[in-house]
Amino acid sequence: MENISPFIQIRRDLHQIPELGFQEFQTQTYLLHYLESLPQQRLQIKEWKTGLFVMVAGTNPNKIIGYRTDIDGLPITEQTNLPFQSKHEGKMHACGHDFHMSIALGILTHLVHHPVKDDVLFIFQPAEEGPGGALPMLQSPIMQEWKPDMIMALHIAPEYPVGTIAIKEGLLFANTSELFIDLKGKGGHAAYPHQTKDMVVAASYLVTQLQSIISRNVDPLDSAVITIGKITGGTVQNIIAETSRVEGTIRTLSVEAMQKVKHRIEAVVSGIGASFECETSIDYGSMYHQVYNHEEPTRDFIKFLKNREDVHVFICKEAMTGEDFGYMLKEIPGFMFWLGVDSPYGLHHAMLTPDEKAIDLAIKTVSEYLSIL
């Protein structure tokens, strides 16, 4: 029988029950069941929608330190063939939130048995993948009552080996926005195109024009991306489509670039409407604020890491990844870091297989960091 740590087993349990944003009912039940198995003297637990706030009392507190983990999965059909792969059809922990939760529980368990000076608030946040749980959780009465003075979080990084922690001061993750564009024209028989307004053709022109926005409107020294990941339209091959829908994402390294890109998207879509005599609408869906690591706590954490022999600290570049933890960092000083997990497949891939050795290393590293604050 395989000899694994209890938190690797927790990760495997959670890996089997991925749930989408604000539907994490089974996940919340699992977390509560585990938390109730711990000594309760230092714990306060409060439910928020499908998430949790868990306060671990310090020995002589004068501040609150926050630690956030996300808990939702993705609408992806798993292809890992692991013995503990997802039991929920069409859903998978393909972004490592099962890792994030097991690490958070490991740190929390350590603090219950080995309390540090200050109070530590663990935030189990739903809906990071969408529609976004960080901002409403931040605005909740519980968070306002227990608002941390400093906050931290991690995200697994498949591209780095186990033992590497990647971090930087300032901008770490981009500003992001979903993008949904609907076009409505006039359908009809394929033999009579002159009597119709073809929305497959309109969508094709639209996608091509959207790609020119970045190259001709964003400062080359700045950075932005428009990715169209899905196009739908029509019913069968011999009927001209009356409607089409274009779905994608916008990512920028500055708030100003995001505003400019959206302004140009709106102009292009308006032009498509005029050119093809069709109705248009734009929905930006979920929008995430950039993850910006505050200077002082980030430097302190880097200094701590550089004195460790079991961790290699790497000062990385910013990424176009999106993370709604940025909303918390907008109001609370703190930082996020990448945790190396050495997977040949990347985030959001159906065959993501992070190395579980990173779990106990992360628990040990963060627990010891909290003990010196």
Among 312, 287, 310, smallest CA distance to 302 is for 312
Domain enclosing residue 198, as ranges? 175-287
Could you tell me the CATH number of the domain that includes residue 184?
3.30.70.360
pLDDT score recorded for residue 213: 93
Q: What is the pLDDT of residues 93-146, one digit of tens each?
A: 999 999 999 999 999 999 999 999 999 999 999 999 999 999 999 999 999 999
Q: Are residues 164 and 181 in the same domain?
A: no
CA-CA-CA-CA torsion sign (324, 167, 76, 108): negative
Q: Are residues 123 and 180 in the same domain?
A: no
Inter-residue contact 112 to 43 (CB < 8 Å): yes
- The encoded tokens of residue 216 equal 């001709």
Q: Is the peptide bond before 141 cis (omega within 30 degrees of 0)?
A: no
- The encoded tokens of residue 108 equal 């929390």
Could you tell me the CATH number of the domain that includes residue 32?
3.40.630.10
Q: Are residues 303 and 272 in the same domain?
A: no
Q: Are residues 165 and 196 in the same domain?
A: no
Place of tokens 């499908």: 50
Instruction: Tell whether 252 is covered by a domain.
Output: yes
pLDDT score recorded for residue 1: 59
Q: Are residues 151 and 180 in the same domain?
A: no
Q: Are residues 64 and 161 in the same domain?
A: yes
Instruction: Tell whether 1 is covered by a domain.
Output: no
pLDDT score recorded for residue 286: 85
Q: Are residues 10 and 125 in the same domain?
A: yes
pLDDT score recorded for residue 217: 79
In the sheet that 150-157 helps form, which strands lie side by side, from edge to edge? 43-48, 51-56, 119-125, 64-70, 150-157, 334-340, 164-167, 312-315
Domain end (from 234, 258, 287): 287
Instruction: Tell whether 86 is covered by a domain.
Output: yes
70 noted as active-site residue: yes
Q: Are residues 275 and 316 in the same domain?
A: no
Q: Residues 19, 70, 182, 324: which is the catalytic one?
A: 70
129 noted as active-site residue: yes
Q: Go through the chain and tell me how many residues it has.
A: 373
Instruction: Tell whether 200 is covered by a domain.
Output: yes
Inter-residue contact 202 to 269 (CB < 8 Å): no
> pTM here?
0.92
- Beta bridge partners of residue 246, listed in sequence order: 181, 231
- The encoded tokens of residue 103 equal 């690490």
Instruction: Give pLDDT tens digits along the chain (373 positions).
Output: 578 999 999 999 999 999 999 999 999 999 999 999 999 999 999 999 999 999 999 999 999 999 999 999 999 999 999 999 999 999 999 999 999 999 999 999 999 999 999 999 999 999 999 999 999 999 999 999 999 999 999 999 999 999 999 999 999 999 999 999 999 999 999 999 999 999 999 999 999 999 889 888 787 778 899 999 999 999 999 999 999 999 999 999 998 999 999 999 999 999 999 999 999 999 999 889 999 999 999 999 999 999 999 999 999 999 999 999 999 999 999 999 999 999 999 999 999 999 999 999 999 999 999 999 9
Q: What is the pLDDT of residues 240-275, one digit of tens each?
A: 999 999 999 999 999 899 999 999 999 999 999 999
Q: Residues 78, 129, 182, 323: which is the catalytic one?
A: 129
Domain end (from 242, 268, 287): 287
Q: Are residues 20 and 77 in the same domain?
A: yes
Number of independent structural domains in the chain: 2
Domain end (from 240, 257, 287): 287
Q: Are residues 11 and 158 in the same domain?
A: yes
Instruction: Tell whether 310 is covered by a domain.
Output: yes
Instruction: Tell whether 248 is covered by a domain.
Output: yes
Q: Are residues 84 and 147 in the same domain?
A: yes
Q: Are residues 160 and 294 in the same domain?
A: yes
The CA distance from 123 to 116, in Å, is 18
Backbone angles phi, psi at 334, to 5 degrees: 165, -160
